[in-house]
Structures are given as structure tokens and as C-alpha cells.
Amino acid sequence: MQRIGYCTLRRISTVILLWGVLILWTHPALSEPYLAVRGGYKCSQCHNNITGGGKRNGFGLIYTQTTLPHKIISASTLQRILSPAGASSADPNYGTFITNTFADFLSFGGDLRVENRTRFSEGPLETTNSLDVTEANLYIEALILRDFLSFYIDERLGPNAASSREVFGLIRTPRWWNFYVKGGKFLLPYGWRLQDDSAFIRDRTGINYATPDTGVEFGLEPGPLTFSMALTNGAGGGSDNNLFKQITLRAETVFRHWRAGWSFAYNDTDAARRVMYGPFAGFTLGRLTLLGEVDVIEDRMAESGETIKQLAVFSSLNVLLTRGVNFKLSYELLDPNRSDNSKNDKRTRLTIGLEPFLTQFLQVRLFYRLNDGIPQRPIERADEVVVEFHLFF
């Protein structure tokens, strides 16, 4: 295992100092699951997509503009910023609350994430720094028959070429335990829908924001229960003429201060048969919110008959330091080959940082990530600092 040396301790001290500066800066004056757990909400409380992610509904829009921000820019504050010097206080009204509707039946939303990532030197690797647009999405929903039949599109504008992340039709019956059926291209219901696709539980399962699939999904939400099941091609959004389809399901019990659930997926392809399963849970008490997920991934290779079993673990502690400012500490473990005990190829990841919602529509995220793995793969051992600006509506 990697030992924490003087250079690493110096980096940690620097990051702690930056945290202090950021807290002092924000104190006086969204699809992350920890927000749902902290509020005691189901995913459908804030998102049009019942399994979470993407466009925010009316409640989600109000929540992000009134409850989530550390500092709300009021109409009078905005007027002082925009008005010419010496202008009368009776200038035109500068409103700060926005709606996301074109008309009664058409609404929209969006997310933009700009990231600066520094990867420190490790072995033969040199320190690098890069600026990237990691997400630029536009969401549109058309209520064809209000609260019953709708058309939804989640369009990825960047990075790289534009493409549809989700596009589906949705039939929903709120009176019957919120039963729904969706058909098209969508994100699969499995585990915690973390924003970070590089998390072991999202990367190794292959179920994340980069891998929507095409098929049909149905579910219901009776009382504290929520259940979703999808039947899809199992080709990551591509076409498939295989007789067998991928089955993915997610079941969860949600209460005000805790929740627990189970995920399962089965996909039989020409190359291998994959079975995935595992529990996930969340707990909140006061300012503390805990999340956890364990996934077992079994791949039986069609040609050799060999079975490779992986284990991915995620845990996260979130602390509400003050309104709109979240402190996060997460630990991840990956065992890429539990079938061979002679291999010592485990990977661990410790992430620590802040996620302040500075004001309406604007979030800043600052993280330090300590990576550990085998010496033969230095890129998996290099520590990182990530600064992200997130604009959303």
C-alpha cells in the first residue's frame, strides 16, 4: 500500500488551507443522492425522471432556488448590481426567481460543469493540469397529456459531439401508486446514481451517465417503497439482435431518516454472462448524512468458461457545515479479481472536499483525491485535485 509521505502531507495541508479560505468566503455573506437522503426524499420528488438525474421538476426548481443556496441573491441586491450609479430605487423590477416553463405543457432545464484537474507526479508520470467541460446538457419535457403522458429528452451538447443521453416517452398514473412505464433510451435503475462516473461502483458496473440503454422500464412507488425494473438491449445504447436482453432492477424503502435498497442486473451476451447485485443504504441525523453501496460483479466468459468476480465498495460521509455548504469524505475500494486470491491488485480511493452552493444556480466543488493501487500502474496511484464550477437551472 502507498505510504503517505512528506509531499502528500504538504498537499493535504494546502488543501485544508484552501477549505478554510473558501468557508470564510462563503460564510458571511443535483443530482447527488446525499441531497435526497438528507431531505428524506425519493428521486422523483425533485426530478422528472423517476429514477433520478436530469431535469428538475417544479419542486426541484423551487428547492434549488430557496433552500439549497448558501446565499440567495435577492431582487434588491441584483438591482444594486445592475443599476447605474445614482439610479432611483424605483428602477424596473429585477426578479431573481425563474420558472422553467415555455407554456403550460413545455418545460426545460440544463447543467454545465467546467472542471480543472491537477494530477500529481507518480513514478514516471509528471504533474499535469487540464481544463475541461465535463458536462453540458439541455433537458426538455413536453406534457402531452398532463400528469399522464409526456415526452422527455436529455441532450448532451458536450463534451465532444452532441448526442441524446435520454429520450423516452413516459406514461404515469399518480393515483395508482405512481405506477409508470417508459420506453426509449434512458439511464438504467441500479444503485446510487452518483454524479461521478469514475466512481468504482459506477465505472465497474458499467451503469452510469455515459452508458444509457434502449428498452422499456416500469415501476411503482407505494408508500415508502419504490421499485423500478428495466428490460433493455444490454449494449450501452446500441442496437442488439440478441434474443436475450439485460434485466436491471432497483428496489428501495425510503423513510425520513434512513433508507435501504437492493440492486440486481443480468446480461447474457455472446462474449460473457454478467450478473451484478448488492445493497445500498443511506442514513441522516442532524447535519450528518451517510451513504454506502456494495456491488458484486460476476462475469462468466463464454469462450473459456472462467468466472471473474469483482467487488466494488463506496461509502460517503456528508456534513452540512452551514447552509448550502457540504463537506464530503468518501472512501472507495475495488477488488478487480476476487477469484484469484494470489493477486494483490486492489485499489482504494479517498476523496475529501467541499461542495458549496454559493447562490442560486451556481455550485463550486473542491476535492483532493488520494489514490492507491499497485506500483505497476502509476496512473492509478497519482493523487489529484479537482475544482469544478457547476451552473444549473
Which structural domain, as residue segments, surrounds residue 269? 6-76+100-392
Residue 93 located in a structural domain: no
Cβ atoms 263, 295 nearer than 8 A: yes
Q: What is the pLDDT of residue 29?
A: 33
Closest CA to 280 of 311, 251, 249, 320: 251
Q: Is 33 helix (H, G, I), strand (E, B) or coil?
A: helix
Q: What is the pLDDT of residue 47?
A: 86
Residue 83 located in a structural domain: no
Q: What is each CA distance from 296 to 80, 191, 206, 265, 349, in whole angstroms?
A: 56, 12, 13, 10, 18
Q: Is 139 helix (H, G, I), strand (E, B) or coil?
A: strand
Q: What is the pLDDT of residue 31?
A: 60
- Residue 380 and residue 180: Cα distance in Å, rounded? 41
Q: What is the pLDDT of residue 281?
A: 98
Kindly report the CATH number assigned to the domain that includes residue 343: 2.40.160.10
Residue 384 located in a structural domain: yes
Other CB atoms within a 10 A radius of the CB of residue 150 amount to 20
**Most distant CA atoms of the chain, gap in Å:** 80
Q: What is each CA distance from 245 to 238, 270, 300, in whole angstroms?
A: 12, 12, 16
Residue 334 located in a structural domain: yes
Query: What backbone phi and psi angles, to 5 degrees, belong to 48?
Result: -65, -40
Q: What is the pLDDT of residue 86?
A: 53
Residue 1 located in a structural domain: no
- Residue 202 and residue 196: Cα distance in Å, rounded? 8
Which residues lie below 8 Å from residue 318, measured CB to CB, with a gap of 6+?
34, 38, 288, 289, 290, 291, 326, 327, 328
Residue spans of the chain under pLDDT 70? 1-31, 84-95, 237-243, 342
Q: What is each CA distance from 262 to 107, 245, 280, in whole angstroms?
A: 33, 20, 6
Cβ atoms 314, 334 nearer than 8 A: no
DSSP β-ladder status, 384-392 and 325-335: unpaired
Residue type, 272: A
- The number of distinct structural domains making up the chain is 1
Q: What is the pLDDT of residue 239?
A: 63
Q: What is the pLDDT of residue 35?
A: 93
**Which stretches within the chain are classed as H helix?**
6-26, 33-39, 58-66, 75-82, 200-203
Residue 244 located in a structural domain: yes
Q: What is the pLDDT of residue 24?
A: 34
Per DSSP (E only), the strands in 239-306 are 246-254, 258-268, 272-285, 288-301
Residue 85 located in a structural domain: no
- Residue 352 and residue 115: Cα distance in Å, rounded? 16
Cβ atoms 189, 202 nearer than 8 A: no
Residue 104 located in a structural domain: yes
Query: What backbone phi and psi angles, to 5 degrees, belong to 41?
Result: -105, 155
